[in-house]
């Protein structure tokens, strides 16, 4: 296949095992990359050791292998990237864009967005959360599946945390720095992250990096409306049902795998997916109840 400038990625958080909802996101990002001869990276978003499930990192990679995924290059780990994150934060502290916030949880209790209490105070950095100032501006982008999405950062988000009081770096910061560092051109992920995207566009603007393309796939939800894997424990993907579950993920993404594929090996299912990938068939919805899938 001709050389491609596409770089995609799958970025699991090891606070749990892969479940069907994460499989749908992995399949979408993999097929979207490989269908154009692009690269596909795996990045472990292990920013929060206290919430990490022991063994989850190895289990996630093992499951990806058993399901037939092949990634390019080494698996990068966010736990090894603290220096890069801190270098950026230091720059923003110096310019006054970032500031220390000592508000207690109690002080912020019941507030929809952070009211900017510490914006002009000069607190020491120790034992403080670090926040980034947001402008009174709307950030918008065109998602390849969901269409236009816009959010006013001042009114709907507020100054947000880039490093927690306990010293852990925030997802919003790490994801932007690492996607830029790894040269990611296309972000394909679950629609639960649609409303994180304007914050990420803003940080990309501050860093002066190129904005990637975005494609948010429907979230697979439980009958009670909860996201799979998050709000309560959904079962990890079984190792021995890879092909049928990959086929189910293809259906969730609006693709139409032929019945004969049911008996195939996982890698063959993915190969069919690469050859037939049509992102315009992905349902333009934010979520799909799991029970609706065949």
Report how far apart, in Å, the C-alpha atoms of 277 and of each of 193, 256, 262, 272, 273 are: 23, 9, 18, 8, 5
Task: Scan residues 36-65 and list those touching ligand GLU (CB under 6 A).
Answer: 45
Identify the residue whose tokens are 């050791």. 49
Q: Between residues 4 and 196, which has the closer beta carbon with respect to ligand GLU?
A: 196
Selected range binding ligand GLU among 11-19, 30-38, 209-217, 285-293, rule: CB under 6 A: 11-19
Q: Which does 101 bind (CB under 5 to 8 A by kind): Zn ion, ligand GLU, none?
A: Zn ion
Q: How far is the CB of 91 from Zn ion (least distance, A)?
A: 21
| Token output for 275 | 């050859």
Please select the residue that binds ligand GLU; options are 7, 13, 67, 159, rule is CB under 6 A: 13
Q: Find residue 139's DSSP bridge partners.
A: 151
For Zn ion, the closer of residues 129 and 246 by Cβ is: 129
CA distance 103 to 116: 10
> Which of residues 159 and 179 has its CB atom nearest to ligand GLU in the complex?
179
Query: CB of 17 within 8 A of CB of 56?
Result: yes
How many residues interact with ligand GLU (rule CB under 6 A)? 7
Q: How far is the CB of 159 from Zn ion (least distance, A)?
A: 9
DSSP E strand boundaries for the chain: 7-10, 39-44, 76-77, 98-101, 129-132, 138-143, 147-152, 160-163, 186-190, 213-217, 219-221, 287-289
Considering CB under 5 A, how many residues would be counted as binding Zn ion? 4
Question: Residue 193 binds what, of Zn ion, ligand GLU, none (CB under 5 to 8 Å, by partner type)?
Answer: ligand GLU
Exactly one of 175, 177, 219, 245 binds ligand GLU (CB under 6 A); that residue is 175
Distance CA 193, CA 182 (A): 20
> Is 189 near ligand GLU (CB under 6 A)?
yes
Contact 6, 37 (CB under 8 A): yes
Q: Which DSSP state fits 45?
A: -
Q: Smallest gap, in angstroms, from Cβ of residue 18 to ligand GLU?
A: 10
Q: Applying CB under 5 A, which residues contact Zn ion?
A: 101, 103, 117-118
Interacting residues toward ligand GLU by CB under 6 A: 11-13, 45, 175, 189, 193
């Amino acid at each position: 296949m001709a050389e491609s400038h596409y770089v995609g990625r799958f970025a699991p958080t090891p606070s749990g095992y892969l479940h069907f909802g994460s499989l749908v996101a992995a399949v979408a990002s993999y097929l979207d990359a490989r269908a154009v001869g692009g690269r596909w990276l795996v990045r472990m978003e292990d920013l929060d050791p206290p919430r990490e499930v022991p063994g989850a990192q190895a289990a996630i990679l093992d499951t990806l292998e058993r399901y037939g995924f092949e990634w390019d290059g080494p698996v990068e780990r966010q736990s090894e990237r603290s220096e890069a994150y801190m270098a950026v934060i230091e720059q923003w502290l110096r310019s006054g864009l970032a500031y220390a916030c000592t508000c207690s949880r109690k002080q912020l209790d019941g507030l929809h967005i952070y009211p900017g209490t510490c914006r002009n105070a000069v607190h020491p950095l120790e034992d403080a959360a670090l926040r980034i100032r947001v402008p009174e501006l709307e950030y918008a982008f065109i998602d390849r599946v969901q269409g236009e999405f816009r959010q006013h950062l001042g009114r709907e988000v507020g100054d947000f945390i880039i490093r927690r009081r306990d010293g852990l770096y925030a997802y919003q910061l790490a994801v932007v720095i690492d996607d830029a560092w790894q040269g990611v051109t296309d972000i394909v992920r679950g629609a639960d992250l649609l409303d994180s995207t304007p914050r990420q566009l803003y940080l990309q603007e501050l860093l002066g990096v190129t904005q990637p393309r975005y494609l948010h796939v429907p979230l697979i939800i439980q009958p009670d409306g909860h996201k799979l894997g998050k709000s309560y424990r959904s079962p990890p993907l079984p190792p021995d049902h890879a092909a049928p579950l990959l086929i189910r993920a293809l259906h969730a993404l609006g693709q139409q795998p032929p019945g004969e594929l049911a008996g195939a090996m996982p890698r063959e299912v993915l190969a069919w997916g690469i050859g037939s990938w049509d992102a315009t068939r992905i349902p333009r919805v934010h979520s799909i109840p799991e029970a609706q899938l065949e």
